[in-house]
């Protein structure tokens, strides 16, 4: 391999186009080829995006000596087959989320990657963002105590004619496309799940439009992940802990704002029933102090930029693993992807009464 990793992209949809833009900003990475089951589509995409080679199949691209690594975009139902071709060829592969259409496909992929000792990583790109990583680090420091509850919601209305794949009964819907963000984050922060409960609003044709997922973790902590294709949500996340609260500002998927509120040990003793208000209490109640507090709260948060493109951190992580010869990510481990798949499947079954 030269000093530049030549990436092949399986798929020609929105995510493939977005990845071309991100790769153009990533040092040491270039899009070399694109593959599609529709040759005319692959050639059109290559011409439109300035990609050197257009190929007919993912297998052809994986076998090509001009391609060093593969990114699998396209429909969720096609992820596993394309990723298996890359693994058979010994090529590192980044797979768009969700990793596969169901847990069985995901387990087969992970087994193949481990047998081949070849890098396989799900593109849970939010987990690589500076704000997400900083929140996990703050939690790991112990300063905020024990995490007890995560609330994560992600929703905004989209039209079926603009995003037809999201409204496909086989591999569309809010749970698969949007729930994967909150569920993977919950598992990363709070660990394995003991119980899944989900209710959903559906379109009557097998697609969940708005889903409410409740998780009880083995640690005793709980999570609430709400996702929607038909409603605007607050698009924020908050993690309640025994000694404070950590959060991500809107838009939660792509957030650059870490919010942190730490409860000082003396806070609980500041207000004692029956005691007359002291000087501090009177100052806090003053209109000027209230205005200052409101202004502080509105501007609160630590801005942690990801750069010119939100996919840059995950691409830097992926290429770093390739250069280091690593077969698995410590940031987005395969076991996390498998557990996420299992939770998503349980949620979907409950959403449709299965």
- Does the annotation mark 115 as catalytic? no
Alpha helices in 179-218 (DSSP H): 180-190
Q: Distance between CA 24 and CA 205 in Å, rounded?
A: 39
Cα(55)–Cα(35) distance, integer angstroms: 5
Backbone angles phi, psi at 176, to 5 degrees: -70, -45
- The answer to whether the beta carbons of residues 148 and 242 sit under 8 Å apart is yes
Q: Which of 97, 115, 280, 293 is catalytic?
A: 97
Give dist(CA 181, CA 108) in Å, integer.
Answer: 22
Picking from 171, 207, 165, the residue whose alpha carbon sits closest to that of residue 351 is 207
Q: Where are the alpha helices (DSSP H) in the chain?
A: 14-23, 39-49, 58-63, 76-88, 103-116, 130-140, 174, 180-190, 279-285, 287-298, 312-324, 334-351
- Separation between Cα atoms, residue 18 and residue 13, nearest integer Å: 9
- Within a 10 A sphere around the Cβ of 61, how many other Cβ atoms? 28
> For residues 188 and 95, what is the distance between their CA atoms, to the nearest angstrom?
19
**CA angle centred on 8, ends 338 and 118, rounded to 5°:** 45
CB 59 within 8 A of CB 84: no
Which CA distances in Å does 312 have to 34, 126, 129, 180?
A: 20, 11, 9, 20
Number of C-beta neighbours around residue 202 at 10 A: 17
> Which residues are catalytic, by number?
97
């Amino acid at each position: 391999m030269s000093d530049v990793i030549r990436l092949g992209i399986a798929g020609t949809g929105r995510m493939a186009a977005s990845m071309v833009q991100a790769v153009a900003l990533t040092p040491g990475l270039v899009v070399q080829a694109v593959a599609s089951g529709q040759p005319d589509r692959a050639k059109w995409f290559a011409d439109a995006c300035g990609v050197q080679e257009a190929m007919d199949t993912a297998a052809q691209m994986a076998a090509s000596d001009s391609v060093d690594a593969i990114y699998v975009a396209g429909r969720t139902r096609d992820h596993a087959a394309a990723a298996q071709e890359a693994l058979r060829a010994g090529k590192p592969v980044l797979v768009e989320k969700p990793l596969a259409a169901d847990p069985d496909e995901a387990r087969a992929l992970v087994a193949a990657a481990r047998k081949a000792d070849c890098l396989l990583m799900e593109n849970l790109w939010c987990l690589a963002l500076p704000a997400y990583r900083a929140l996990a680090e703050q939690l790991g420091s112990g300063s905020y105590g024990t995490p007890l509850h995560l609330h994560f919601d992600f929703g905004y209305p989209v039209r079926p004619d603009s995003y037809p794949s999201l409204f496909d009964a086989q591999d569309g819907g809010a749970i698969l496309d949007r729930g994967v963000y909150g569920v993977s984050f919950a598992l990363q922060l709070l660990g394995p799940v003991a119980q899944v409960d989900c209710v959903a609003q559906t379109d009557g044709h097998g697609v969940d439009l708005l889903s409410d997922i409740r998780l009880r973790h083995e640690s005793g902590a709980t999570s609430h992940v709400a996702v929607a294709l038909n409603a605007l949500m607050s698009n924020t996340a908050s993690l309640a802990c025994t000694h404070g609260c950590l959060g991500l500002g809107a838009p939660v998927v792509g957030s650059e704002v870490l919010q942190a509120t730490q409860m000082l040990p003396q806070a609980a003793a500041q207000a004692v029933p029956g005691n007359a208000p002291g000087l501090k209490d009177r100052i806090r109640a003053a209109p000027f102090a209230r205005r200052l507090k409101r202004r502080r709260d509105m501007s609160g948060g630590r801005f942690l930029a990801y750069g010119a493109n939100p996919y840059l951190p995950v691409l830097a992580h992926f290429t770093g693993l390739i250069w280091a010869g690593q077969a698995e990510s410590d940031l987005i481990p395969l076991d996390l992807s498998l557990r996420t798949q299992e939770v998503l499947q349980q949620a979907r079954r409950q959403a449709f009464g299965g």
